[in-house]
Structure 1
């Protein structure tokens, strides 16, 4: 086979692989949450939403690092790991992966993080929005923490869309599952895509043993973020994590 034939064969193989990944992402891994239980879903709506969505950059950036929370109370930890890895933040040493570095649900607890919260505490109680904010802030990123009580669905939507369109920002939401008609209480997961026409966000749920990821209307999601956290006695909300940009000195 000549060089040109090898090249063409390689292109075909790559195209088939990318097509398979896209098909898998668009199909059974997602579902659609309907605020009104009488709404009749169309055939395979989640797949169609993903195909039609214009803002999916964060989905592809996060997919490589998407993990399952290792304990029932580790949603904020797992979500933080996904975000930090997807922003290519330098990770602590990981002896299991040497010489490579990657955040996981153990090495994220550096000495600085342990002054804020420990694995033992996380193991028996939830992580508040402020604790997650402080944890992530120990790394070289900027974190904007917003309580739903200090915001509105319109402000949330605008900020979320800006974050989702930026390659250097990620969005995490802290919400009450009951507000989305799900079993359980407080939860944290990344938001990775937005469907403009239907005003729906795609939540990449780190409790993968329990639920697939899902599309939810912005008003419905904001309502779920507005519930009161029993520990903090404040509303839930969201954080936007931004990678700090460095520039070379041309002098």
Structure 2
């Protein structure tokens, strides 16, 4: 069975961080065992728990560390802990393919078993189900987080979260409406939408860049504010004056 280089043996997720340290693809024992740097005990603990399948979010909450900060620490700490054994990583992959368990390799090379698994395979994918994260997703949505931010928080790909939302596996309620959707809903021109924004008839957005409003916010305005209607197109506006402006700009002067 062919021998592996370090780059072939190690999980691809570690390529960038090793490349930044100047590590060659097939290092000598001296090159592959650079002097590592101290890793905080709580991060060492987090690596072991993350390797066992816990999510970064859960670990960050439990350890009182910012999630993004912890994620970065894990990424840089693993190569530091692996430093004394980097030259052995190709042998680990070969040994596993020959039928040796991670436990056997850990005993032979005197290395924590979970480090071998992380070196060869990267972090485990917790793969939460929609049911596992539905409550958290809904709370984050109602707190104003966008979909990409929610996906990062629950550690699933954004495309997967969007698919769950489209399928109804997770609820994103109330809905959020962009300016274009409000314009279409009420039959406004963009000029009228700008007038209503500037005058405060349309309140400040509930969040977002680009801005959005909760559907419940717009529903309240629809019932109590936009009660005047254009006879020609059905557009709903806040006043008779607004109808006149709308008709002049959209339908032209009355004949």
Q: Give the TM-score taking structure 1 as reference length.
A: 0.24
Please identify which structure carries the higher helix content. Answer: 2
With CA pairs under 8 Å and 6+ residues apart, which has the higher RCO, 1 or 2?
1
Question: Rg bigger for which structure?
Answer: 2
Q: Give the TM-score taking structure 2 as reference length.
A: 0.24
